[in-house]
A and B are shown apart, each in its own frame.
Chain A
């Protein structure tokens, strides 16, 4: 009887240790998964920000085209000014929300240095946001009045809304 009891305790001890190891292993696994999911979320936010930048760079409303010939990576300054003014009105901004979401898009001329041109094309910043990813890209700015191409940048700040 005594021997059987010792055996039982032995078996129970093995089971208890086994379940401790199992719970420890599961906790470790879920911790790893949690950090992996956080990393994936950060990557998705980066990709989404990059998507918005690419959409801004290839907007047909701003392209430099002449006799159906389109110049790559180029914004027409007059089109930027007019679209920017249009997007200040709420009804038009709502239409572009599907394209740009919560973001701010600014176009700035850097060369020639003696001419200043800086225009906010789109601005929709949420009241509360948990992160902001800023991206800049060089572009050509076509000045139709003077018929010359200037050098500038487009800055896109994409906001991740706090939930």
Chain B
């Protein structure tokens, strides 16, 4: 009888230890798997910045016959840049320079890694800024710009964290 009581006590002790260790491991796992506090809001912020940048940049008026960037890119995509802008640059080069200025004054100063690219026509595909990072965590926004019915170009801005 005594032996039986002893072994029961032993097992009880083991059970308590196992339960405590399991609870401890549960808390540790929960703690380790949680994302850092600011990461969720940073992702939303970066997504908003990318969308707002593309939106604002496309509607910005330039000194090239008071055309906005959208119109210059449409001309570049359609004709390869026949419009002559100040400084004897064609619409593709001029639009590229103005986009670079805006990127330098915002994302570069804010120390954000980014990649800006345009797809849809040979003339505009040469306009890229930043370095792509396919394996990085990123927030990206794509803004389609119609050039004519059935033909559109797509601007993409990726901001890496």
Which A residues fall within an 8 A CB radius of B?
A: 14, 18, 21, 25, 28-29, 32, 35-36, 39-40, 42-43, 46-47, 50, 57, 71-74, 110-113, 135-140, 148-153
Interface residues of B in 18-59 (CB under 8 A from A): 20, 23-24, 27, 30-31, 34, 36-38, 40-42, 44-45, 48-49, 52-53, 55-57, 59
Given that A28-B27, A135-B45 are contacting pairs, would A149 and B37 also be in contact in the complex, using a CB cutoff of 8 Å?
no
**In contact, B24 and A73 (Cβ under 8 angstroms):** no
**In contact, A39 and B98 (Cβ under 8 angstroms):** no
The dominant DSSP class at the A interface is mixed
**In contact, A14 and B59 (Cβ under 8 angstroms):** no
Shortest distance between the CB of B84 and any CB in chain A (Å): 19
CB contacts between A and B, total, < 8 Å: 89
**In contact, A14 and B13 (Cβ under 8 angstroms):** yes
25 A-B pairs within 8 Å (CB atoms) are namely: A18-B16, A25-B23, A25-B24, A32-B31, A35-B31, A40-B37, A43-B37, A71-B59, A73-B56, A110-B102, A110-B106, A111-B98, A112-B63, A136-B106, A137-B48, A137-B49, A137-B52, A138-B57, A139-B56, A140-B55, A140-B56, A149-B60, A149-B68, A151-B102, A152-B56
B58-100 toward A: CB 8 Å interface, digit per residue (1/0)? 0111010010100000000000000000000000000000100
